[in-house]
Structure 1
Amino acid sequence: MARNARGGLRTGVQVAALAAAGLFLLIGVLGFIPGITTDYGGMRFAGHHSEAKLLGLVQVSVLHNILHLGFGLVGLVLARRVSGARLFLAGGGALYLGLWLYGFAINQESGGNIIPVNDAANWLHLFLGFGMLVFGLLLSNRVGTGGRLDRPLDRP
């Protein structure tokens, strides 16, 4: 198991938070790389007019990429503590599920689509949100409460 900054072992929820944070940083960086992001010349700062698509699928903008980078950095900071890792995963998962609902509620061709989102982004937000929420709620629920560390299979 990985060690934290104090030399102790990281818990499963911390490792999951670090992995999620790393994924968001990677997505944010890849969104700025021409070739990996198709129609790079059509990228806008924000809004549904951005024609750039990460891997040719997920519509991105400068704002979208900056949000991913910022979210990844927040995750790295919060993953240093168990409670922060839980907050990042569960809270971030809930946030991404809200973003998924937003993507289906708005007209993707309207001015309200400022991030921007398309159908591929909606499915990605659903997957990320549900996965983060599950890991945030199910991993190490006794850590930090004075009880022993547990694994999901140890629970009744």
Structure 2
Amino acid sequence: MQAKRTGTQNFALIIGIMYLLVGLMGFIPAFVRAPIVSPEAAGLGFTGGYGYLMGLFPINALHNIIHVLVGILGIAASISLDSSRLFSGVLALFYGALTLMGLFPPTQSTLGLVPIFGNDVWLHAGTAAIAAYFGFIATPNLLELGGETSQSPTGSES
């Protein structure tokens, strides 16, 4: 009998699929609008594919590659509870750091490589908050792990 998937595994799978799709969309010109802020004003040295995904989120080719990698890692991590918790915890730290970097103009271009300003800041903050819950706070109960009966403290089944 196959064990049921936990909420943490589902989170890793869902966030993985979302980030994979967003990363791939960034390479499709129909989803990318012309930049609102010029690459020079944004502090970008790498301008390949620079624009706004769905007109909202500043991206470039490197940003898209990062999203694709995060997506693939999330999908792969969803296979087990331990790997999905690790993925969620690391994702929380990574996107939490990106959120902080996106708040300060000197770090909003990630050393001139990836734009992380504007709507990216709140998206990264939301991702970090949800990932922190699944990586550090959520604990699976026995039923989520596939146990069909539970034991009371006295050892009898309930």
TM-score, L = length of structure 2: 0.74
Aligned match of 1:10 in 5, 13, 23?
Answer: 5
- Cα separation, partners in 2 of 1:106 and 1:112, compared to 1, 3 Å: farther
State the structure with bigger RCO (CA 8 A, min sep 6), 1 or 2.
2
Residue 110 of structure 1, CA deviation: 6.3
> Structure 2 counterpart of 1:88, which letter?
F
> Structure 2 counterpart of 1:7, which letter?
Q
For the residues of structure 1 that align with 2:136 and 2:108, how far apart are their CA atoms? 35
For the residues of structure 2 that align with 1:93 and 1:113, how far apart are their CA atoms? 23
For the residues of structure 1 that align with 2:143 and 2:82, how far apart are their CA atoms? 14
Given that 2:101 and 2:116 are in contact with CA atoms closer than 8 Å, whether structure 1 keeps it comes out as no
Matched residue, 1:69:
68
- Cα separation, partners in 2 of 1:79 and 1:108, compared to 1, 3 Å: same
TM-score, L = length of structure 1: 0.75
Matched residue, 1:22:
17
In the alignment of these two chains, the number of paired residues is 136
> Structure 2 counterpart of 1:30, which letter?
M
For the residues of structure 2 that align with 1:105 and 1:76, how far apart are their CA atoms? 31
For the residues of structure 2 that align with 1:131 and 1:142, how far apart are their CA atoms? 16
Deviation >6 Å, runs of 4+:
108-111
- Cα separation, partners in 2 of 1:8 and 1:107, compared to 1, 3 Å: same
Of all paired residues, the percent bearing the same amino acid is: 29
> Structure 1 counterpart of 2:124, which letter?
H
- Cα separation, partners in 2 of 1:64 and 1:111, compared to 1, 3 Å: closer
Matched residue, 1:154:
none
Matched residue, 1:48:
44
Residue 10 of structure 1, CA deviation: 1.1
Unaligned runs of at least 5 residues, structure 1:
1-5, 151-156
